[in-house]
Amino acid sequence: MYLCFMKQLIECVPNFSEGRDLSIIKQITDQIESVEGIRLLDVDPGKATNRTVVTFVGEPAQVVEAAYLAIKKAGEIIDMRQHSGEHARMGATDVCPLIPVANISMEETVELAKKLGERVGKELNIPVYLYESAASKPERRNLATIRAGEYEGLPAKLQDPNWKPDFGPATFNAQSGATVIGARDFLVAYNINLNTKSTRLANAIAFDVREAGRIKREGHPVLGEVINDENGEPIRIPGTLKSVKAVGWYIEEYGFAQISMNLTNINVTSVHRAFDEVVRAAQERGVRVTGSELVGLIPLRCMLEAGRHYLAKMGRSEGVSEEELIETAIRSMGLNELGPFDPKKKIIEYLIAPEGHNRLVSMDLRAFANETASESPAPGGGSIAAYAGAMGVSLAAMVANLSAAKRGWEEQTGYFSEMASKAQALKEALLYKVDEDTRAFDAIMNAFALPKNSDQEKKARSLAIQEATKIAIEVPLQTMRLANEAFEIIQAMAEKGNPNSITDAAVGALCARAAVYGGWLNVKVNLGGFKDQSYAAATLAEAAAILAEAQAQEAVILDLVAKRLGA
């Protein structure tokens, strides 16, 4: 289960003002699913609220397109003049947040929200307000502030210059109302289990940690008289965790109390930070934390960060495999106390990974060798080169981890842990190239198989072949770059690592050089059929330079190891 999603990924959670007519909801979600690459994760209709919350994920351009189509369809089939429900609302698509999940910044997500808002306002004539991180004014960050007055108050609001929409007309759209679009952080719903049935104790702990804290009182913390400020407002004692909402409750099904938390900004307070702080606060009140429960999904990085955190607390190297980091996080926070924690179902990147995306590296060694040895031309040299590079840098990681754990070398644990982490990142990237190289080869074969019965078909086929060939050039070139990066770590381990493992570093250098050379051969053979000569010349020059550098670095490492061995 290696790092399977290296592309940018965002989540979208639009709220539609219809929760009773499932046929209307289905028409909207059909539009979302019509966009290739989109994964619909959840559809949650509410009858009382007459509102449906939809969750889907994908790459940025796909998500923006799916969100636009959904907003358009909702505006066509939901009539706000007929709408009533318990939840506050101001439009057919009431709110549509974009949420960065993987390999994309909040700043980039804000730009996507603005792009979506501009298109909705211009093409659908729906007034659009931006909120949260995309807000155009500080007073518009809060959704409740924008939505004040709801749908019924829109005609007057739109006439107020202070409430001119960020996009779209400042005129009342009676059928669709207005839409709020924005960018916000990923919200994690997280419950922490206690060894008590006492809701009072659970609430006390929740008030200790939540950002809002508790109201300050004279004398008794619960029954005492409320202390107010000069404006007559209650003074609050803030909790210890920013961007955290929490309450204590008793769960009859489980037979114990929990701290129920919403982590509204995991960049401010991480899951492991919240867990550790509740452990501390509970201990002060004589209560023990027994485990925790994740409600919904979590980004991969949260689990990896938690794994590294707990390994560091143990004084162990953080440069271990992705699987071990996740398992460490699960065990450290007791995420499997109430039932098995399946990373494939709880970690968002794993849940949406395309089926078969890592077919080759999921095989055992024998199956992979058999697949390579079969009459099929793929996996071929490109995939094997990438795998050789992954094995080379894995040996460097091994030496680093052995050195980090060596008795008497404790003061160097941080250094070797950092080197092992860098090696692990390169390993994951190279493993990704194993399947990617085979996919690139398959794409070329598919392009050559396209029909060529007419001039138009011949032109389309030729273009497809060139596009596929360029990918088939870029993938082994990226393998070369990655494998070449490994030499710095390998050399450091040969020089400073555990002396009992320097020959492992040497074998790592041999593997890394094989990866670079193998990548070079694949770049060169694919450039032979590529028409863009300026690109071909620049690529060939870069590849030749990487090869020369790799060969030189390999020689330095082998000489270094030979000297340390006394040869």
Cα–Cα distance measured from residue 313 to residue 273, given in angstroms and rounded to the nearest whole number:
12
Which of 40-49, 110-119, 198-207, 236-245 is predicted least confidently?
40-49
Is residue 350 very low, low, confident or very high in pLDDT (cuts 50, 70, 90)?
A: confident
Which DSSP state fits 235?
P
Q: Residue 3's pLDDT is what?
A: 44
Query: Is the distance from CB of 59 to CB of 11 less than 8 angstroms?
Result: no
Cα–Cα distance measured from residue 430 to residue 483, given in angstroms and rounded to the nearest whole number:
8
Q: Residue 349's pLDDT is what?
A: 86
**What are 484-519's pLDDT values in tens digits?**
999 999 999 999 999 999 999 999 999 999 999 999
Three-class secondary structure of residue 400 per DSSP: helix
pLDDT over 90 percentage in the chain: 79
Q: Residue 4's pLDDT is what?
A: 44
Give me the mean pLDDT over the 432-455 stretch: 92
The DSSP H or E segment spanning 394 is helix 381-404
The whole model's pTM is what? 0.79
Query: Is the distance from CB of 207 to CB of 221 less than 8 angstroms?
Result: no
Class of the domain covering 188-352: alpha beta
**What are 7-55's pLDDT values in tens digits?**
899 999 999 999 999 999 999 999 999 999 899 998 888 887 888 989 9
Residue entry with tokens 């009676």: 174
Instruction: Give the long-range contacts of residues 465-470, CB within 8 A, separation 24 or more.
Output: 465/529, 466/530, 466/531, 466/532, 468/440, 468/443, 468/444, 469/444, 469/526, 469/529, 469/530, 470/530, 470/532, 470/535
Three-class secondary structure of residue 194 per DSSP: strand
Which of 38-47, 176-185, 256-265 is predicted least confidently?
38-47
Q: At what angle do helices 322-332 and 300-313 cross, to 10 degrees?
A: 70
Query: Is the distance from CB of 290 to CB of 337 less than 8 angstroms?
Result: yes
How big is the chain by its Cα radius of gyration, in Å? 28
Three-class secondary structure of residue 20 per DSSP: coil
**What are 75-104's pLDDT values in tens digits?**
999 999 999 887 789 999 999 999 999 889
Q: How many CB atoms lie within 10 A of CB 71?
A: 29
Is residue 227 very low, low, confident or very high in pLDDT (cuts 50, 70, 90)?
A: confident
**Strands 188-194, 289-295: pairing kind:** antiparallel
Cα atoms in the Cβ-side hemisphere of radius 13 Å centred on 331: 10
For the chain, the domains span 9-183, 188-352, 365-565
Q: How many CB atoms lie within 10 A of CB 43?
A: 17
Is residue 356 very low, low, confident or very high in pLDDT (cuts 50, 70, 90)?
A: low
Q: Residue 497's pLDDT is what?
A: 93
Closest CA to 489 of 431, 402, 557, 410: 557
Q: Residue 1's pLDDT is what?
A: 43
Both tokens of 288, joined, read 């023990």
Give me the torsion for CA of 238, 241, 244, 247, rounded to 10°. -70
**What are 132-174's pLDDT values in tens digits?**
999 999 999 988 899 999 999 999 999 999 999 999 999 999 9
- Is 9-183 a domain of CATH 3.30.990.10? yes
Catalytic residues: 87, 437
**What are 327-337's pLDDT values in tens digits?**
999 999 999 99
Which DSSP state fits 110?
H
Both tokens of 121, joined, read 């306002």
The domain 365-565: what is its CATH number? 1.20.120.680
Q: How many CB atoms lie within 10 A of CB 321?
A: 17
